[in-house]
Amino acid sequence: MTPEPTGSQKNRKKEIFVVQEHDASHLHYDFRLERNSVLKSWAVPKGIPQKPGIKKLAIKTEDHPLDYAEFQGTIPKGQYGAGTVKTWDKGPYTVKFWGENKIEFNLQGTKLTGNYALIHFKKGGDKNWLLIKVGDKND
C-alpha cells in the first residue's frame, strides 16, 4: 500500500494542474488545479473533455495538499478514496479568470492543451460544476 502525501511541498514558479485516473468504487478522473498553495479538486466521472464544446460533470471535492500532484499508488481498503490512483496528465496552466462561479484557464499538458472552463451550475447544488473544453483559434 502507498501512503498518501501529507502536504510539505511549497509553491512552484508556475502553477500546475494534474489529472489522476482514480479506480475507486467507480472509475473516475480527479481534476486538480493548484491555487493558493493547495490543489483545488473536482471528480469527473465520465472523463475529461478533449474536443471543444464537450461538457462533463465535475463534482467539487475537498482541497488536496500540493504533494498530491505526485501521488500514484493504492489507497488501502477502508480509507476514503480506496483504490488505485495513476497520473493521467500533468503540466503547467495559466489562469485567465478565477471567479466564484466560473474559472477560465489554459492547460499545457501532454494530453490536455488549450483553453478550458469550469462553470458552477447553481441548480445542480453547491458541488456540481461543468468542465468544458473551449474552442481555441486553431480548433
pLDDT digits (tens, 9 = 90+) for 90-109: 999 999 999 999 999 999 99
* 6 inside domain: no
* 7 inside domain: no
Instruction: Find all residues with CB under 8 Å of 114, minimum gap 6, and list them.
Output: 106, 107, 133, 134, 136, 138, 139
* 67 inside domain: yes
Domain carrying residue 42: 16-133
* 138 inside domain: no
The pLDDT tens digits for 41-52 are: 999 999 999 999
Beta bridge partners of 94: 106
* 10 inside domain: no
DSSP 8-state assignment for residue 2: -
Determine the pLDDT at residue 11.
45
Count of structural domains, the chain:
1
125 close to 114: Cβ distance less than 8 angstroms: no
* 120 inside domain: yes
**How many whole angstroms separate alpha carbon 129 and alpha carbon 109?**
22
